[in-house]
Structure 1
Amino acid sequence: MPTRQKFDNELEELRLNILNLGEMVSQQISNAVSSLLNQDLELANSIVVKDLEINDLQAIIEEKCILLIATQQPFARDLRKLVAGFKISIYLERMGDLSVDLAKITIRIGQEKFIKPLTDIPLMCALVLEMIDIGLKAYINEDCGTAAEMSLIDDKIDKIYSGVFGELKDLMMEDPNKVTQANYLLFASRFLERLGDYCTNIAEEIVYICNGKRMDLNE
């Protein structure tokens, strides 16, 4: 097999691994929020266990990126693809960690009655999942324009988080008995806000693949 074709096949395998990792993380996030909304402790615990698979796949991607850089000595766009792929896998792994943190919030709250309707958390989750879906498609297609627009969705997440923060702060001031759960829900909202930021970081890596420039889409 010609060297270039072999390298292209390796890049395609890498892309598929990253796509698989992204889909696993997306499912973890969805399950984590579902476990919280339904106070499903069994589902929450399964998310903690599943995280090991995400860590293992990210390690495989990392090793492949390093091996290809070392043995193929790529340059220009090929090198950017490997560097960006490596960083995207790291961001996805960290997003997997945040899904575990969300699941642990479920475990800590347990079956305690919620102090407020959880309407904002599923809305934030839906936007995060939308960003992941758009980001993965933009990565596969190397769609720089679509990736850059992902920050607009992140702005929506930030706005919702700001509202949740104010609402929970007021609840804590009104009733000290609500402080503990309010803090848990505040952490859950913060984790989702951070997930949006990581999605934006992924978008920045896609832009980097396309034009070799580093852009801060969180500005």
Structure 2
Amino acid sequence: MEKKNIRIRYRQELQNLRNSFIKMGEDCIKTVRDSVESLKNQDVELAHKVIADSQKIDKQEMEIEQLCMKLLALQQPMAADLRFIVTCLKMITDLDRIGDLSENIVEIAIKTAGKPFFKPLIDIPRMSEIAQGMIRKALDAFITGKIENLTKLSEEDDLIDGLFDQIFRELITLVIEKPSGISDATYLLFVARYLERIADHSCNLASRIIYMVTGKRVKIE
């Protein structure tokens, strides 16, 4: 009877780990969306909310890490369960970095609030939408175990890289015409770089989820 209760608790803790990871992933998608919204709308109140949400993601990372270590130490999982736990332990680092990068974006939103944009925000919101979609696809694959669409994330990552290069070229051209705007141009370039890094972390998530489901290591980039 005791062994049965231990197994029941073990399965419950695995489910808690699963639910906690999904919640952390959902929160990361929201921080990416809100960070660019705060920049676009020059919404300082929303920017401060993103900072608070990012700090909550930091706390989630620690809590999930503790749960993973507890499961590894006390339950000695094997096979698929071991891959699941170890993958979660690695993926929370990517999610935490996504939260940190969103916080970096809103720090710029706060600094630039009330100033006219050096160039219209067209490509940056587009980058945000694509990055959110990439995280969503990774999270959906984590939930369902269906990984068929994850290899397509490399195409979306290429699209984001292309948008970053386009923003870089446009900003260089504008700075040549108006050197006094170099500081404002740099802020926008940083935002684009942060979104490009978020896409990279989304690809990391996809690679790890493929390993979790199949046991095979596939690099999505």
Counterpart residue type for residue 118 of structure 1? L
Of 31-40 and 8-17, deviating more is: 8-17
Deviation at 1:103, TM superposition (A): 0.1
Deviation at 1:216, TM superposition (A): 1.7
CA deviation profile, 1:91-119 (whole Å, cap 9, x unmatched): 10110000000001101112111121100
Matches of 1:56 and 1:101, distance apart in 2: 18
TM-score (norm 2): 0.94
Counterpart residue type for residue 159 of structure 2? K
Residue of structure 2 in register with 1:184 after alignment: 187
Asked if 1:31 is matched to 2:14, the reply is: no
Residue of structure 1 in register with 2:150 after alignment: 147
Matches of 1:38 and 1:52, distance apart in 2: 22
Deviation at 1:2, TM superposition (A): 4.4
Counterpart residue type for residue 48 of structure 2? N
Unmatched runs of 5 consecutive residues or more in structure 2: none
Asked if 1:13 is matched to 2:16, the reply is: yes
Cα RMSD between the aligned structures? 1.3
Asked if 1:106 is matched to 2:103, the reply is: no
TM-score (norm 1): 0.95
Matches of 1:150 and 1:4, distance apart in 2: 37
Asked if 1:48 is matched to 2:51, the reply is: yes
Say whether the 8 Å CA contact 1:143–1:206 is kept in structure 2. Answer: no
3-state SS of paired residue (1:204): helix
Alignment of 1:1-219 (within 5 A): 1-218=4-221
Deviation at 1:170, TM superposition (A): 1.3
CA deviation profile, 1:44-97 (whole Å, cap 9, x unmatched): 122112222111111110000011011111122211100111111111011000
Say whether the 8 Å CA contact 1:88–1:202 is kept in structure 2. Answer: yes
CA deviation profile, 1:162-203 (whole Å, cap 9, x unmatched): 111111111112211110000000000000000000000000
Deviation at 1:41, TM superposition (A): 1.3
Name the CA shift for 1:189/1:80 in 2 (closer, same or farther; >3 Å).
Answer: same
Aligned-pair identity (%)? 37
Deviation at 1:211, TM superposition (A): 2.1
Say whether the 8 Å CA contact 1:204–1:214 is kept in structure 2. Answer: yes
